[in-house]
Structure formats: structure tokens, C-alpha cells
Structure 1
Amino acid sequence: MAVHSNIPESGPAAGGRRPVPSEPPAAGGRRPMPSEPPADRGGIEGTPVPPADRMGGSERRPREIVPEALADRVQTGFQDLSRLLGAIKETLQSKDGQVQQTLQALPTFLQQVPRIHRAEIECLAQISKQLEHMGGGTRDVLARLEGLPDLLRTLAVSQAEQQRFLENLQSRMSEHLDVQSKAIREGLEQQRKSSQTQLDMVRALATTQEEVFATFQSTQNRALNVFHRAQQQAMSQHRDTQQVMGRQVEMLVERVHSAQTRVFWLSISIAALAAGGLIAVLLLG
């Protein structure tokens, strides 16, 4: 934090009291700068004139230093410094609040992901069971169709016409049933192969999901460990930064106090010189 070093500072006046301003501050919170000192009136008012100037020398005189203006400027500098430190504190507090909100929301999100994967695995297991049940029903239908020609042969009658009719019917039905049985067998075989393929795919997918879930859990644990370490490092850096800023503020306060002390003794020296010059003028005049 850089602070301009040319801001005039002033310490407490003699007796622990700050000089009282003689005029109210102007608009904006700052006092007007002191005007030029009044002209010398018999060596009593204004800055005392050296003997060389009274004998026809240069008409210039040093500008009068007013402690009230210096005190005003020091007070304004302290107010600006207080506002700057307050803004820095608010910024750090807002960043800390954002980090805390992010840390509070992260565990909830990470807890929801494994639940979704478990629901998907349970759904795939139910589909696998249903496919196995359908395969068992298909095998039962096949067994019943294989026994159908034998059932038709037992229905033959003793009469010749009925026998021939039934034989022709049986031959036709047998051919037709053989064709249908062959078609059904082929269809069921294809369905069984398709069901087996789907079952293998579901099992492979379930295995893959379990591996992905295990990998995700390990990755999540590593990420949480890395996050906790990063959080600890960030908190440590934050504490170090606060300590460095505190030391900088202490150094700044010490410099301001030193500057105030120098200005105070300078004001006393100037007042003593002015009093000595006034006494010299009165004695010589």
C-alpha cells in the first residue's frame, strides 16, 4: 500500500492540545490557504524585516507559516487514510464471504453425484432381470409347440375318409406347423441372441459403471484432499498478508508520528526565531 510521503503532518501542540483553527473550513472540508502576510507596520505586525531590508535592500519577505493550516492538512490526511483502510477491510471481508459460500455448496453437490450413479446401476439391474424372465417364457412356448404335432396325431378317427382327411389335414398341418415352427424357432433364436447380446451389454455397462464410480470416488477423494490443502494454503497466505499489512500500517503510523514531531519542533523554532527577530527590531528601533 503506497502512501504519498509529501503530505504535511502535524503532531499535538504544546500541552497535548491541537491548535484551534481561527477560521471555519471552506466547502469540501479543507481550509483556505493563508494569504500573504500584511505589510510591515512599524516593525510590529507581520514578519519582522531585517535591517538590510529597512536600509533600502530587497523588499521580499519569507511567507508566514501558519500551524493551523498544517494541522488541518494533517487531519485531512488521517481521514483519507482511515477511509482507505476501511475500504481494504470491506474488500477482504467480501472475498472471505464468497469463499465460505463456495465451500458450503461444494459438499452438497459432491454428495448428489454418487446417488445418481447408484440409481442408474439399479435400473440396469432391473432391465437385466426382465430380459432373463422373457428368455424363460420363450423357452416354454418352444417346448409346447414341439408337442403340438403329437397332439394332432392322437385325434385320428377309425374311418377311412376321416382317416384320409385327417391324414391330409395332418400332413398339411404338419407342413404348415413345421414351417411356422421353423420360423418361430429362428425368430426366437434371433430374439434369444439379441437378448443375450443386450444382457452382455448391460452387464458390461454395469461393470463399467462400477469402475467409473470407483474411479470417481478415488478422484473425488484426491480432489477434496487437494482442495483442503489449497484452502489451508490460502488461509495461511491470507493471514500472512494481514500481518504484512498490519506491519506496514504500524510503520506508516510511526512515520506520521515522526513527521508530526518534526513539524511541531519546526513550528516552535520558527516561533522562537520570529519572537527573537521581533525583540531585535524593537530593541534596534
Structure 2
Amino acid sequence: MNKRPTIILCVLGAVLALTTACGQARAGTAVPKGDDAATYVGTKFEAAMNKLQDTIGDQRDVTSESGAYFRFDEKYVRSTISSARTGSPEGRVSRQRSQKNPDDSIDWYTPADGPVEYVYLGPVYKSLAPTPWVSMLKSEAGLTIPCAWVGIIHACKMADAIAVSYNADKKIVKGAKSLPDKRTELTADVPFAKFIERRVEILPTSIMSGITDEMKKAPVRTTVSLNPDGTLSQIAMEAKIEGNGHKIELRYDFRFTGKASTQDLPKLPDASQITVLPDKAAKDDFNRRYNELKGV
């Protein structure tokens, strides 16, 4: 996790570098594609490196949504995360929902004040505690490392995959254009191998054993959209891959959806509805059992 912000910094620097030039183009016009796009981005790559925190980690008072869909033959997962962060000091909430199983839901809430954060357990996770709510010590990493927060982790992992792919081969950049609403859109083909390597989706051994080296070379079409001020609007990845008698389909996206307020944060129940985890050992045990239920 500690290395991820630096990696993402590079790719978003490249993406953000397009914004200045594209701002001079007419709406809907394209900037260079293919080899020319790689060269165009590369020449401005380093100048915009410091934009990472402003683009993902430091966008404040915002709501966001992310979706994940991965199918391997007849097996699939589909989930969404809706999040909000607001205030100074900041309060955060992320609501995870499975679209396959409505009972698979869990909310993570970090209030602005106090030393603890909270989890609200959906039906699948009721065995983790005797009450619907659980409190535990706040995670320092979640406050100091932007990509440690579940609300933006999908965006970070996708950007990470783009960065690693771009560093290995500048030609993954396929094109860029300015949109009618003055946003900028960059497209790239990320090898499926990098999607796996950077853990955009964590695949079990039963699926990994069916994926051949040739399938890993398949392109995952990736789109990054920027607002007129250079901040991230949306990032998405999509692919259909066949090989070794198997079919894979994937769609992942993250987008900022609006301005957050305190109304987006949950209200805590009576203390009798909250199970208190008193220390780090209790929190670690809770997370272990949670991961076991998730199959991680």
C-alpha cells in the first residue's frame, strides 16, 4: 500500500498534463493517438507529477461511487461502493453492497471527532458481533495514506494498473480528446496481466489456474475523464476475454458524483446497539474473521 500513491502519481501526472493542451482545442476534437499520444504525454509527464493528491486523495467534501463486475464463465461478482467525505476535520462513510446477494452489505464510518470508527453489519456479517454496530480504534493508515481508504481504493488500483502499464510500454496510450463539456478523456489499453498484478480484483487460485499467458496479454480498455480544472471525474476499465475454453468479462468504474455534506453521514444508534472492540488485538481478530467471510 505504501508504494501505491507514488505509482499513481506518475500516471495521473501524465493524464493531467493533457488538460492544458486539450483546453486549447475545440470541444470534441482529438489530441494525438497511438505513438504520437505516447510522445505527447511523455514530454509533459514530469511537470504535472504533483497533481496526485489534488486529483484523488485530497478531493474533499465529495461523494463518489464505484462499481465492480467480474465474470469467469458462470461465476461472477458484482458490487458497488458509495462514499462521502466532508468537513474539517473530516468525517467519512463508505457503503459496500453486493448486487449478487442483497444480504452482503457493510458500512464503514469514520467520524470527524474521537478515537474510534464504526462498522454497520449487514445480514451476511451478523456472526461477527452480537449487535448491528461495532466500534474500533481508528486506522491511522486510513487517515494518512489516501489509497488506504475503501472509498477511493478502486480508483487507486485502476490508476496503479495504468501507471505500471504505461511505465512498461508508452504505447498503451491510444488517444485523448476534449469533450463538449470541457472535460478531457484519455484512453489506454492496459494488459489484463497488469489488471491482475495490481489487484484491481483479487482472483482466487481456482480462476487464476484457468488464465493462460496469452489471455493475460489481452487489452483492458481504460478511460480516464478529467474535469476542466484537471481534477479526476471518472476512471473505468472494461474487457471481454476468451481463451483456454473460458470466457471472462469485466467492468470496473469509479466516479465523483457530487458535493457531500454532514447529511450524508450516518447517525449512531444507542450505545446498547454497539459492540466495542477495546484494542488493536480485538480489531485484528474482527478483520480476520471478516476476511474469512469475504473469502479473501
Question: TM-score, normalized by length of structure 2?
Answer: 0.21
Higher relative contact order (Cα pairs below 8 Å, separated by 6+ residues): 1
Bigger radius of gyration among the two: 1
